[in-house]
Amino acid sequence: MKDFKDNQGHYYVDDDTVTKWNDKDALSGYMLAQFEKDPTYTQDDNFPIAASAYFKKHLFLGKSCTFCEKTSLWNIDTKPHMDGGILQLTTPDHVIEE
């Protein structure tokens, strides 16, 4: 698990476009700007909920495989994690070649 955390990347996924970001703060700023451009979202009382849903839909964590040279991407809600001392893995949401 330590290796996964140390070597993971942050990715923005939108339709068929996948971009890797080394700076989480820059990615957050970019995602907020993209969210604000989306005409289906408005700045009202539901803004924090809608923004959170947008981030969950488009923010992924990735891990590269040294053997096949592909990167597996997991949504924030489905990323590998420890549960009771056992590593919990799910099927990646996307697999890309870098």
Q: What is the pLDDT of residues 20-63, one digit of tens each?
A: 998 889 999 999 898 888 777 766 767 788 888 888 899 998 98
Q: What region, left, alpha or beta, does residue 15 occupy, with left being phi > 0 and alpha being psi -120 to 50 degrees?
A: left
Residue that the structure tokens 């890797």 belong to: 20
Check whether 2 has a pLDDT greater than 70: no
Q: Which amino acid is at 58?
A: H
Cβ–Cβ < 8 Å for 74, 67: no
Q: Are 5 and 91 in contact (CB under 8 A)?
A: no
Which amino acid does the sequence have at 51?
Answer: A
**Cβ–Cβ < 8 Å for 38, 32:** no
Predicted TM-score of the model (pTM)? 0.76
